Structure 1
Amino acid sequence: MEIKLKFGIDKLLFGMKQKDVEAIYGKPNAQYNDEEDNIVYVYNDYKMRLTFYDDEDLRLGYITSTNEDLELFGEQIIGQNWLSVKNILAEKKLTQFETEVVDGTENYFFETNWLFVNVDYGNVFKIEIGANFTDNDDDFDWKFKA
């Protein structure tokens, strides 16, 4: 499953509606509302959580995954050593990031691509990507055109 920065993962594109996602992956194993009233779909087989933004007409805006088959720039990254992944990112000019450590877990945030790389015990265990904003930073740059 290829991570396509600024676009989505695999066949998922930011801006899809729930019906569009269900046409690809079927009904989710679970769904819930988060603290901001967004709808979150949980797909166990794909190890993904998909967030549909309430204030954006329930468009897919955020994906979290621990799927071992995730690839970024053709390289598998879940379970890989952070330093190896950091080098892969650096080769693609992704060197500017913010770091936060929470309960020993390191979180690296690349704002220009809205990418979070979550690291525990030196290895990447989770990826989070979100829809980017347009040049004027007021609107999302939805990639799915219904």
Structure 2
Amino acid sequence: MKVKLKYGIGQLLFGMKQKDVEAIYGKPNKQYNDDEDNIVYVYNDHKMRLTFYDEEELRLGYITSTNNELELFDSKIIGKPWSEIQNLLNQNKLSDFETEVVDGTENYFFEDNWLFVNVDYDLVFKIELGAVFNNQDEFDWKF
């Protein structure tokens, strides 16, 4: 499953509606509303959570995944040492990031691509990818 920065993951594109996602993956294993009344779909087999933004006509705006098959720049990333992934990101001109440590977990945030890389015990265990904004400060939907 290829991570496409600013676009989505695999066949999933930011801006899709629930019916579009269900046409690809079927019904989710679980569905719930988060604190902001967004709808979150959980797909166990794909190890993904998909967030449909309430204030954006329930468009897909955020993806969280721990899927071992995730590829970024043609390299698998889950379970790899942070130094290896940081090097891969640097080679692809992603070197500007913010770091936050929460309960020992390091979170690296690349704002221009709305990418979070979550690291624990020096290994990447999760990524979070969100829709980006355009020059008018609106979401740049890809679907």
* TM-score with structure 1 setting the length: 0.98
Task: Using the TM superposition, give the Cα deviation of residue 69 of structure 1 relative to its aligned residue in structure 2, in angstroms.
Answer: 0.2
1:77 matched residue in structure 2: 77
Matching residue's letter, 2:81 = N
1:50 matched residue in structure 2: 50
1:16 matched residue in structure 2: 16
Map 1:1-146 to 2 at 5 A: 1-137=1-137, 139-144=138-143
Moved over 6 A (4+): none
* TM-score with structure 2 setting the length: 1.00
Tell me how large the CA RMSD over aligned residues is: 0.3
Q: Return the alpha-carbon distance in structure 2 between the equivalents of residues 136 and 62 of structure 1.
A: 20
Extract unaligned runs of 5+ from structure 1: none
Extract unaligned runs of 5+ from structure 2: none
Task: Using the TM superposition, give the Cα deviation of residue 136 of structure 1 relative to its aligned residue in structure 2, in angstroms.
Answer: 2.0
Matching residue's letter, 1:121 = Y
